[in-house]
Structure 1
């Protein structure tokens, strides 16, 4: 056998060892850590959750982990029962929470909350049209409208206002027609 053949054979043996080791590590990790469902987590509305719902959900999760580990029919049935119970608990809690919310919104104080909720939903649904930000005299970045309106650095040295470019591509300041129109 030539030296080249030994090198190729040695590489093959090393590759086989690596494959075997990596497969054993994967199997052990799967057994110890378990396997996720593969779906990404969604942001869930939980303002209506209570202790019963929390407990029911945690029982369901424990049953799911047990089923993932054991993979037998008994643990599958237990998980399915917990899943059904959790669904019922969630539906009841949600129903009670929305009932209270609707009662509150029907009152005089609730009317204000209704408009507040509508404004929040409207703002949350808007796309960002442009980014507003300026720097004050000290170089600090100001992003809120109230900070910008309170900032004296928006006025030039001769007390004329500076316009601010609010396009996302630029944050430069420009002294423009304000100078001629402000007098």
Structure 2
């Protein structure tokens, strides 16, 4: 038997003000996107903003549906919009904010498993990492250098 050790490094900032100005702006765009989320069933709103290598910012928010599997998470809304409108343009940074509608959540909320897989697909496709910032409604902000920090042992096209 052989054992594999996987190490992940996540930077943690006390609040939004500690981020560089570009990351602050990106998170503010995610916060704005979260305010427009459609979450009448879960009452849990998520906003996401992406910075593309061409300087464009793409926003997305969660869109629920009474038939739960039919909705989409904020991250996938933003990623798919970027892919549809800016094909071949790399995503360099991503900001995510999530909280119940009452804005009470102050703990960083990372992307769900389905979103991690979608982000992994784009990192693999563009052959460069996406820096990911995530937070609750306020408070601590976490940062990973790549989706690989959040989802080690990625399943990608190399297995197909």
TM (norm. structure 2) is: 0.19
Higher helix content, 1 or 2: 1
Pick 1 or 2: higher relative contact order, CA cutoff 8 A, min separation 6.
Answer: 2
Of structures 1 and 2, the larger Rg is shown by 1
